[in-house]
Amino acid sequence: MVPSRRLDVGRILEAAEAASPVEAIEQVARALGRAFDAVSVSFLISDLSGRALVRLAHVPLRAEWTAYRSSQADGERREDQESATVLPFDGGPAEQAIRTQTVQVLSPGSATPPAPLADLWHVLAPVTERGESIGLLELHLPGEPDPDVLAEIGHVAHLLAFVVIANRRHTDLFEWGQRTRAFTLSAEIQRRLLPESRTCEAAAFTLAGWLEPTASIGGDTFDYSLARDLLHLSLTDAMGHGVNAALTASMCLGALRGARRRGATLLEQANATNEALSEDTRDDFVTGLIGRLELRTGALDLINAGHVAPYVLRGSEVRILDLPVDLPLGMFGDSTYRASGTELRPGDRVVLVTDGMLERTVATVDLPGAIHDTKDLHPREVVRALADAALAAAGQALKDDATVLCLDWHGQHDQSRDTVSGAEPARASAPLD
């Protein structure tokens, strides 16, 4: 039995801060390995595809693990002294840990690990912040961890999330590990437009977004920002493909964010963005949904600028939210916009999509049915499941970006979240069968 011990959090943070951003995770892993007498400690970062983990930082702590590590060159991607190994989701313990946001424990003999690990206990702990799955902390321990040790490991994995967030601002190492395919210039621009965190859990709501890009980049974006009593959100689709669409999307999102940060109303944000795009000499336009949710009441105001109407799941019924449709942003400088309101009830789910989720090659997907069938999943899994359905229908070759933004309304703005290590267990998805 691995006994519980009080971890020195200050020492862990000092180790992370003393190291360079490139080495911070390794230093934290070494400290954790010593604290738990671990044979090995790994950080597995979430791949940008959303369908795999990447073993990015691997720290051998004993000689037998070094021998095993040297035998694992196959499947690794290397650059200078860095290595990354993609581990696709297969329904196993790693995917279950992320899906359920719980620590997974595998006893010796419950799997078929390489010989150096056969007699060890395998622990996988979610590395999560506000529901955003950053990856997993993986440990191999010589004895069975007791419940207190598992709780400590969960807390340390949560701490590791903040270490990753802080240090990835200073280095490309983490993003290099997450990229399993090459990015075009337009894809590079588009990625920089998306919010840094794709998921956000708060007391009143849970939100997650996903963009499944086409090879030629279709100009989709989504965005959100949380104020004290308001949630701002948008989902937009710039006309065309490639760099031109990415640049138009950049101008659109920059105008929306700038107006929002000046304290503009929802209508003022739309008008300012329309004016900025109308002055662009390329004559491109953007369709979109721009919204603002009052967190004290659940009142959701939306502007539809020539876009696909959103869906609302209430109970077991999925309906299209009837909104007046105005002209796309940037089409005419004198366009006017209207905001329409709807009152959300606790338990409601709002799903926003771009037309890439509805285009001809994806037409076989029953989108309302898919929204209904995923009603018990966390929005983090919902957006990926809907994107997976679109990809499957299109034969893994989308003709246009497919983007989804999923918002769950809980109606608890005056309360605190009941969290465990960066996630709220009651909101997590159930285990895979």
The model's pLDDT over 29-82, given as tens digits with 9 standing for 90+, comes to: 888 888 889 998 989 999 998 899 998 754 444 444 454 454 444 567 777 777
What lies within 8 Å, CB to CB, of 177 at 6+ separation is: 45, 54, 56, 82, 84
pLDDT at 290 (0 to 100): 98
Element (H, E) at 162: helix 147-167
Beta bridge partners of 133: 128
User: How confident is the model over 128-178, as pLDDT tens digits?
Assistant: 999 999 999 999 999 999 999 999 999 999 999 999 999 999 999 999 989
Query: For residue 317, what are its two tokens?
Result: 């019924």
Domain ranges of the chain: 9-178, 185-427
Q: Which CATH architecture has domain 9-178?
A: 2-Layer Sandwich (3.30)
Query: For residue 393, what are its two tokens?
Result: 């229908």
Give the CA count within 13 Å in the CB-facing half-sphere of 378.
Answer: 26
Which of helix, strand or coil describes residue 39?
Answer: coil
Query: For residue 323, what are its two tokens?
Result: 């909104």
Q: What CATH homologous superfamily does 185-427 map to?
A: PPM-type phosphatase domain (3.60.40.10)
| Cα–Cα distance list, 243 to 155, 184, 213, 217, 239 (Å) | 43, 9, 13, 8, 11
pLDDT at 79 (0 to 100): 75
Burial class (CB in 10 A: 0-12, 13-18, 19+), 274: buried
User: Mean pLDDT for each consecutive 10-residue tract of the chain (433 residues)?
Assistant: 66 88 88 88 91 73 48 63 85 95 91 68 96 95 93 93 94 90 89 95 97 87 97 96 93 97 97 94 89 98 98 97 96 95 97 93 92 97 95 89 97 88 92 86
Question: Beta strand pairing status for 299-305 and 325-326?
Answer: parallel
pLDDT at 83 (0 to 100): 78
Evaluate whether 38 touches 32 at the Cβ level (below 8 Å). Answer: yes
The reported pTM is: 0.92
Evaluate whether 379 touches 412 at the Cβ level (below 8 Å). Answer: no
Between CA 217 and CA 400 the distance in angstroms is 7
